[in-house]
Every structure is written in C-alpha cells, then in structure tokens.
Copies of this chain bind each other. A is one copy, B any other.
Amino acid sequence: MEKIRQFFGEFVTIDDLDWEIFSSKLERAAFPKKSVILEQGKKERFLSFLEKGIIRFNIPKVDYDFTFAFAFENTFFSAYDSFLTQTGSHYNIECITDCVLHRISYKDLEFVYANTSIGDRIGRKVAEDLYVKKMKRERSLLEDTAKKRYMDLLSEQPHLLKYIPQKYLASYIGIRPQSLSRIRKTI
C-alpha cells in the first residue's frame, strides 16, 4: 500500500493520522483473470487502487463486446460515474489478467471525507487527474487516426500491451479487429 501513499504524495501531503484513517478502510482483494469485478446494471461500491494486473471497462452488446477503457497498475479505477451517483453502472469491469487491488467502499470513503482534513482534497485530485486524462483521450479520438492511436499505445504501454488481446485494443481505438489487423500489416 506504500504505492498508494506515493501516488497521493505526488500532489498532496498526508499526515500520518489521516493516512491511518484512510488506509485502515482499505480492503485487499484478488481476482483471477477474466473475472468480472463489476457487472453492468449494478452499483459501483468501491474506489479501487490497482496494485497488480490489467483491467478493462466494457459494454457487453448483443453483437459484440465493446471495450472502451483500460486501467493499469498503480492507478485508481472505478465505475466512477456509477460510484459517484450511486446508480447502476452502464458497463462491466473485468480483469484481463490476475489482479490484486486495494479498495475502499462508498460508505467508508464518505467517512474519510468527513473525518480527515485531506479526504475531499484527495477525492478532488483523483477526479481532476481522471478528467485531465479523459481530455487527452477526447483530443486523440477527434484528431488522430486509428493508426496513430495504435502506435501511441505501442510506445506508451509496450510492456503491458502484450497481455491485452487485440480485439480489446481494436475497440479501444475505435475500430473493428479486422481493421486493426489491416493496420498492423502496414506498420
């Protein structure tokens, strides 16, 4: 869990007491490859820090399974819109690999927000961080070609990509698996 404190440390200083209140609420959980952490339609109960593994966010459709985001090691993830509004999630969260995470429940996080000097600040920073990433993604989806997005992924996450099936990558960059095969031939 030292990784989590490091993660926070990059933008805020947490004193030992606040850290104790927060970290005591964390629950460790491990999931095998392919397990579904959160099912579409159910409320997200947790904000989770991914210590080990790769996660995908997907919408299971009639014709095909649509992956629109990933989470990698040493980051927070959640069906955050569901978590924040406490309404059913629009999507699944699944483990691509075996995963280990540390998570805090909605109720416990409310407690942290209410009883530490730093809770809302951390929540703010987490949301701000997620927002900045989504802005970058928005620009990429509007400005770049699928090929550019694929090349960017290759250069930014090369070590992790070998664990992600191409069909998931394809829908993440906005195309079908057949088109990704086509693109790969031209590299």
Please tell me if the beta carbons of A135 and B134 are within 8 angstroms of each other in the complex: yes
| Cβ of A177 under 8 Å from chain B | no
Contact of A123 (CB < 8 Å), options: B124, B139, B141, B171: B124
Contact B127 A131 (CB under 8 A): yes
Q: Please, which residue of chain B has its CB at the minimum distance from the CB of A80? A: B131
Residue of B nearest to A132 (CB): B81
In whole angstroms, how far apart are the Cα atoms of A137 and B171 in the complex? 15
Contact B134 A84 (CB under 8 A): no
Give the distance in Å from the alpha carbon of A80 to the alpha carbon of B130 in the complex. Answer: 12
The CA-CA distance from A121 to B139 in the complex, in Å, is: 28
CB-based nearest B residue for A85: B132
How many whole Å from A183's CB to the nearest CB in chain B? 16
Closest chain-B Cβ to A184's Cβ sits at a distance in Å of 20
Which B residues are in CB contact (< 8 Å) with A141? 138, 141-142, 174
Other-chain residue from B59, B81, B85, B132 in contact with A80 (beta carbon distance below 8 A): B132
Instruction: Please count how many residues in chain A sit with their CB below 8 Å of the partner chain's CB atoms.
Output: 29
Most buried by B among A84, A128, A134: A128
Distance in Å: Cβ of A127 to nearest Cβ of chain B: 4
Contact with B along A102-138 (1 / 0, CB 8 A): 0000000000010000001101100110111011011
- What chain B residues lie within 8 Å of A130 (beta carbons)? 127, 131
Minimum CB–CB distance from A154 to chain B (whole Å) comes to 19
Contacts of A120 in B (CB 8 A): 120-121, 123-124
Known interface pairs A66-B142, A81-B131, A142-B171; 9 further A-B residue pairs with C-beta atoms within 8 A, sorted by A's residue number: A66-B143, A68-B142, A69-B138, A113-B121, A120-B121, A121-B124, A130-B131, A131-B131, A137-B138
